[in-house]
């Protein structure tokens, strides 16, 4: 009988012991998962950074080419630099009325608006004015005029309203923005202008440096343009 019991006992399958993960194993598994997640996150960050940098570089190149083209065209299409500073210039574009003197409709001001990181171009828009009003605001200026102060005044519509009132003419303030700005470049952190000779009105060449800041990229465009030879 004892032998039979022994046989029955030995024929029963051995029970396997069940056990859970130890704390060390859980910690190792957690660390492994964390490392994998960190690697994936780093890879995605590198890809995103590369995409952003590539986009910033393309934007920088486009801005540089566009700005250089605009500055070159403005300078080469002008007769004279009436006045200039480190970050602005007033150009006499053409002599439409053949009086050999610059007037409002013949002037362009190009300047750096550092607060907004723009390069702005100001040019008169006189369409729609009456003949009386046109004669009042589009008079000629002497070459020794303060063209910096004049063009600064032209920016303010009230300047033209005051002229109209002085001559008993009517010009609404909403219609008096006669020297409006046009944005030529954005993301500009610096503009440096230099002429080949002084004073400004004797210059034949304009040298410029435009610094752009886009994302993590910063670069300076350097160029030179000659005034129209007349």
pLDDT score of 33 more than 80: no
Confidence of residue 54 (pLDDT cuts 50, 70, 90): confident
What are the boundaries of each domain within the chain? Answer: 60-226
pLDDT in tens, 99-142: 999 999 999 999 999 999 999 999 999 998 999 999 999 999 99
Tokens of 167: 């001559």
Where is pLDDT greater, at 42 or 86? 86
Whole-angstrom distance, CA of residue 173 vs CA of residue 175:
5
Confidence of residue 152 (pLDDT cuts 50, 70, 90): very high
Is the Cα torsion angle 141, 197, 191, 53 positive or negative in sign?
A: positive
8 A C-beta contact, residue 122 and residue 109? yes
Q: What is the per-residue pLDDT for 56?
A: 84
pLDDT in tens, 215-228: 889 999 999 999 98
Whole-angstrom distance, CA of residue 153 vs CA of residue 166:
16
The reported pTM is: 0.77
Tokens of 82: 């009436």
For residue 5, report the phi and psi dihedrals to the nearest 5 degrees.
Answer: -60, -40
Instruction: Report the helix count and the strand count for the chain, using DSSP H and E.
Output: 5, 8
Confidence of residue 193 (pLDDT cuts 50, 70, 90): very high
Whole-angstrom distance, CA of residue 120 vs CA of residue 130:
28
Tokens of 170: 């009517």
pLDDT score of 9 more than 50: no
Confidence of residue 37 (pLDDT cuts 50, 70, 90): low
Q: Three-state SS string across 152-203, please?
A: HHHCCHHHHHHHHHHCCCCCCHHHCCCCCEEEEEECEEEEEEEECCCCHHHC
Confidence of residue 47 (pLDDT cuts 50, 70, 90): very low
């Amino acid at each position: 009988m004892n032998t039979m019991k022994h046989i029955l006992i030995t024929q029963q399958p051995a029970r396997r012991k069940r056990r859970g993960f130890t704390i060390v194993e859980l910690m190792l598994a957690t660390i492994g998962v964390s490392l994998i997640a960190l690697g994936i996150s780093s890879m995605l960050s590198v890809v995103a950074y590369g995409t952003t940098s590539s986009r910033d570089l393309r934007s920088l190149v486009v801005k540089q080419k566009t700005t250089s083209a605009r500055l070159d065209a403005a300078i080469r299409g002008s007769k004279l630099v009436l006045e200039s500073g480190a970050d602005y210039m007033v150009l006499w574009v053409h002599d439409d009325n053949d009086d050999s003197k610059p007037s409002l409709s013949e002037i362009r001001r190009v300047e750096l608006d550092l607060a907004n990181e723009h390069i702005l171009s100001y040019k008169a828009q006189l369409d729609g004015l009456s003949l009386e009003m046109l004669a009042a605001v589009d008079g000629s200026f002497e070459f020794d005029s303060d063209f910096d102060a004049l063009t600064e005044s032209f920016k303010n519509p009230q300047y033209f309203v005051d002229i109209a009132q002085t001559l008993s003419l009517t010009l609404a303030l909403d219609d008096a923005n006669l020297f409006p700005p046009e944005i030529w470049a954005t993301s500009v952190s610096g503009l440096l202008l230099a002429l080949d000779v002084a004073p400004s009105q004797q210059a034949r060449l304009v040298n410029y440096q435009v610094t752009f800041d886009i994302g993590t990229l910063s670069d300076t465009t350097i160029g030179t343009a000659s005034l129209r030879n007349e």
